[in-house]
Amino acid sequence: RKGNSSKEQVHLHDLVQQLPKAIIIGVRKGGTRALLEMLNLHPAVVKASQEIHFFDNDENYAKGIDWYRKKMPFSYPQQITIEKSPAYFITEEVPERIYKMNSSIKLLIIVREPTTRAISDYTQVLEGKERKNKTYYKFEKLAIDPNTCEVNTKYKAVRTSIYTKHLERWLKYFPIEQFHIVDGDRLITEPLPELQLVEKFLNLPPRISQYNLYFNATRGFYCLRFNIIFNKCLAGSKGRIHPEVDPSVITKLRKFFHPFNQKFYQITGRILNWP
Ligand code: A3P
């Protein structure tokens, strides 16, 4: 056919289901969905829309790698598939399992200021309880041990925000070069430079541009423009209003996370200057 003689011509029968070459392993409430959707703007990236939970769920993992591959979207051989399952980051067994699949896989971790992330995590759980008409504790009650008045390290939303502890487990399997840290707070306010860093990390030609991202004042977030016809914002569950938290509790948490943050910056080489 005329005008269609490019050697880059692609055929539907070339489509295959490929294992991911990169995984967004976390962190829950870091902006994992936004990161996946924004990377999917790149023509060489194909996303697995659903969280697959292959490596963190024993039942799924027992189904084998072919089950996992069949959960992947169809793509052209030169494209790369990316999936995100935020529970991977904090689940004990996952690093070894991913290593067994592909020891040279690229791992993306999107983090946010740890106290904000913990409150975001709490807000999601709270919303789930409210949907079932259940009451729930206040954040302050969960985050601070009532007996000692110290930070309650048994509370999951607190533990998940101790990023360095989790990363150190991963480093038993993968060298630090295989990780890229995305600044989730900056992805909210200024997504393009963060995405450009990821393009570099993935060895992709820079293709995501300001055209693909427009600020939606009503949502208060950036939305995605794929082309002249198709654009979208993330679901309403992304960008929840957080409950107000006692400032002294925030101060206590920030003080608690501070040394862990310093260690995290030191290990990753990414200095995020959290308060
Ligand atoms: P909040 O709901 O606390 O604001 P995850 O996808 O990992 O669950 O992360 C959800 C977080 O992504 C939201 O947390 C929100 O702040 C953040 N986010 C980043 N970019 C966004 C965007 N363009 N639209 C909506 N939410 C975005």
Per cent of the chain over pLDDT 90 is 94
pLDDT over 60 at 273, yes or no:
yes
pLDDT tens per residue, range 201-240: 999 999 999 999 999 999 999 999 999 999 999 998 999 9
Ligand 1 neighbour 26 (Cβ under 6 A): no
3-state secondary structure of 84: strand
Residues 6+ apart with CB under 8 A from 74: 15, 16, 17, 46
**147/152 Cα distance (integer angstroms):** 10
On whether the CB atoms of residues 152 and 145 are closer than 8 A, the answer is: yes
**Which of 28, 29, 111 to mutate to test ligand 1, by most ligand atoms within 8 A of the CB atom?**
29
Nearest ligand 1 atom to the CA of 222 is 23
**Which of 238, 242, 245 to mutate to test ligand 1, by most ligand atoms within 8 A of the CB atom?**
238
| Ligand 1 centroid to residue 262 C-alpha, Å | 24
| Ligand 1 centroid to residue 33 C-alpha, Å | 7
Which of 107, 253, 119 minimizes the C-alpha distance to 167? 107
3-state secondary structure of 179: strand
User: Which token pair is 70?
Assistant: 């069949």
Task: Give 194-237 as a DSSP string.
Answer: HHHHHHHHTT------GGGEEEETTTTEEEEE-SSS-EE---TT
Which DSSP helix (H) or strand (E) runs through 22?
Answer: strand 22-26
Burial of residue 36, with CB atoms counted within 10 A of its CB: 0-12 exposed, 13-18 middle, 19 or more buried: buried
On whether the CB atoms of residues 14 and 22 are closer than 8 A, the answer is: no
Q: pLDDT band at residue 2, thresholds of 50, 70 and 90? A: very low
pLDDT over 60 at 30, yes or no:
yes
**Which of 23, 24, 33, 222 to mutate to test ligand 1, by most ligand atoms within 8 A of the CB atom?**
33
Buried-exposed string 170-194: b where 16+ CB fall within 10 A, e elsewhere: beebbeeebbbbbbbbbbbeebbeb
pLDDT tens per residue, range 94-129: 999 999 999 999 999 999 999 999 999 999 999 999
Amino acid at 216: N
Bridge partners for 23 per DSSP: 83, 107
Predicted pLDDT at 7: 59
Predicted pLDDT at 12: 83
Which DSSP helix (H) or strand (E) runs through 259?
Answer: helix 247-268
Cα three-residue angle 24-28-30, rounded to 5 degrees: 80
